[in-house]
Structure 1
Amino acid sequence: MKAWQILGLGPLLLMTGVVWGYGSSSSSKACAKPGFSQFYPADKADVPANSKFSFLASPNTQPDTIRVVVKDLSAAIAVKPVAQGYQVSGTLPAVLHGTFARINISAEGANQCKGSGGWLVNIGE
């Protein structure tokens, strides 16, 4: 009786191996979020009003989707392709002074995956 049970398990094991060989459909829709680095000025730095800022966006970033908001105010930016991705630069809004402000970044990457980042600066008078 045990021999028949063991022989009966063989086809079941083969079938599960075939099913696992196809993988899941979610693996083809992997999300590649854009990354941000090399923030200037540094995090929590003291900066004068109307200062320039810059950062590097990863190569998988769609450059036309990059948005920068500083304390609920949109910042005008310039995007330049470089070997490591995209160099993004801009100027802090002139109306901000004597306050801490977060430079918020948002963008889309491959498969419309959204990424965000940012850093904090102390804007002087």
Structure 2
Amino acid sequence: MKVSNTWKTVFLLTSLVFNQTAFAETPAEEAEKKCVKPKFRDFTPAHQAEATPGSDIIFHINRHADPLHVKATAKNLPIPIKVVDKKTFYYVSGKLPAELQDGFARIHVEAKGNEGDCIGQDGWLLKIKTTTDAAKPSEASNSAALESKLQ
């Protein structure tokens, strides 16, 4: 028994139509999407390192983050950041606010996930050293050198 080309075409079109509906997502399945939080890594400067106000900070975020919803703060001061897509991760860079004073500052970073309403958070601690404090020891050594020359 030979099947005609018309029947083959009808069978093919019917199977394609029903195949689409079989693999379609229902609204309940869409609501069940799991939340995958973005992960942060490679913080520069490292945790508990010394940094000056205005120095660069760099970190990486995995691909589960939405690059338009990434933010960073230091002592509740916003840090302007730039997000670059590196195909397997996001490269984020910025500068510490100039308003930071001596002491410690936690760099708090957060990003919204691509799927769902997940928010990934992380951070690290930096010791903030102002440039005026770094200049004081050299001024003291200069004044000591001048005193020794005068004697």
What TM-score comes out, normalization by structure 1 length? 0.75
Pairs within 5 Å for 1:84-123: 84-109=88-113, 110-123=115-128
Runs of 4+ in 1 over 2 A off after TM superposition: none
User: 2 CA distance for matches of 1:94 and 1:46?
Assistant: 15
User: 1 CA distance for matches of 2:129 and 2:100?
Assistant: 9
Structure with the bigger percentage of helix:
2
Which residue is 1:58 aligned to? 62
Structure showing greater relative contact order (alpha-carbon pairs closer than 8 Å, 6 or more residues apart): 1
* CA-CA distance at 1:97 after TM superposition: 2.4
Q: List runs of 5+ in structure 1 lacking aligned partners.
A: 1-24
Which residue is 1:81 aligned to? 85
Residue 37 in structure 1 maps to residue 57 in structure 2: no
Which residue is 1:72 aligned to? 76
Which residue is 2:9 aligned to? none
Tell me the percent identity.
Answer: 36
Q: In terms of Rg, which structure is larger? A: 2
User: 1 CA distance for matches of 2:110 and 2:35?
Assistant: 15
Letter of the structure 1 residue corresponding to residue 46 of structure 2: A
Q: How many residues align?
A: 101
Report SS of the residue matched to 2:68.
helix
User: 2 CA distance for matches of 1:87 and 1:59?
Assistant: 10
Q: List runs of 5+ in structure 2 lacking aligned partners.
A: 1-28, 131-151
User: 2 CA distance for matches of 1:57 and 1:94?
Assistant: 25
Letter of the structure 1 residue corresponding to residue 57 of structure 2: F
User: 2 CA distance for matches of 1:39 and 1:66?
Assistant: 15
* CA-CA distance at 1:28 after TM superposition: 3.7
Give me the CA root mean square deviation: 1.7
What TM-score comes out, normalization by structure 2 length? 0.63
